[in-house]
């Protein structure tokens, strides 16, 4: 999964995420923007109309919550931070991907969502890009959680 912070998505799917975490053999990969990168924070503060500090705290909260959901002893879990801003949301569940595009205007809604199945060129493209983000990303530092 590659998203900015996904607060609403996390809240809506917390029960399912915890179920996946308990399932033996689960493999979970999450990439989030690096909240230590000033340029990324500036980019997101404009996009989301929040301060850079607010964006950093939202990402830190996501790191903490995802890390709390997934126990590395129960499932194969990796969380990485990247210096690349997401141009889309990426979710993969088995042999299916869900790709959500981001818009750059003020309108909400009417954003295309693509579902790709394996095998296929689009599936391979997004999988390759995501694998790059995982391999080039860094582990988040161990920090105290932020307050909301």
Evaluate whether residue 141 is within a structural domain: no
Is residue 113 in some structural domain?
Answer: yes
What does the block give as tokens for 87? 């141009």
Is 143 within a domain? Answer: no
110-146: per-residue pLDDT in tens?
788 999 999 999 999 999 999 999 999 999 987 655 5
- CB 56, CB 44: distance < 8 Å: no
Of 6 and 146, the structure prediction assigns the larger pLDDT to: 6
> What phi and psi, each to the nearest 5 degrees, are found at residue 18?
-65, -35
* Number of residues in the chain: 148
Phi and psi based region of residue 44 (left: phi greater than 0; alpha: psi -120 to 50; beta: remaining): alpha
| pLDDT over 70 at 148, yes or no | no
* Residue at 108 is within a domain: yes
pLDDT digits (tens, 9 = 90+) for 9-54: 888 888 998 898 888 888 999 999 999 999 999 998 988 889 999 9
Q: Which domain holds residue 16?
A: 7-136
Q: How many CA atoms lie within 13 A of 112 on its CB side?
A: 4
Domain-located, residue 107: yes
Instruction: Check residue 8 and give its pLDDT.
Output: 86
Mean pLDDT of 84-113: 85
| Within-domain flag for 144 | no
Domains in the chain, number: 1
Residue 125 lies in a domain: yes
Is 2 a domain residue? Answer: no
Residue with more model confidence, 63 or 109: 63
Of residues 71 and 126, more confidence is placed in 126
């Amino acid at each position: 999964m590659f998203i900015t912070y996904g607060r609403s998505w996390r809240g809506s799917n917390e029960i399912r995420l915890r179920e996946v975490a308990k399932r033996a053999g689960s493999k979970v990969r999450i990439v989030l923007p690096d909240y230590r990168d000033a340029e990324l924070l500036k980019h997101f503060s404009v996009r989301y109309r929040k301060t850079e500090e607010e964006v950093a705290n939202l990402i830190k909260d996501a790191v903490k919550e995802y890390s709390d959901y997934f126990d590395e002893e129960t499932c194969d879990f990796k969380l990485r931070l990247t210096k690349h801003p997401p141009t889309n949301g990426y979710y993969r569940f088995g042999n299916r991907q869900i790709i959500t595009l981001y818009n750059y205007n003020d309108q909400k809604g009417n954003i295309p969502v693509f579902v790709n199945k394996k095998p296929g060129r689009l599936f391979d493209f997004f999988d390759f890009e995501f694998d790059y983000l995982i391999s080039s990303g860094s582990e988040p530092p161990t920090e105290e959680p932020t307050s909301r």
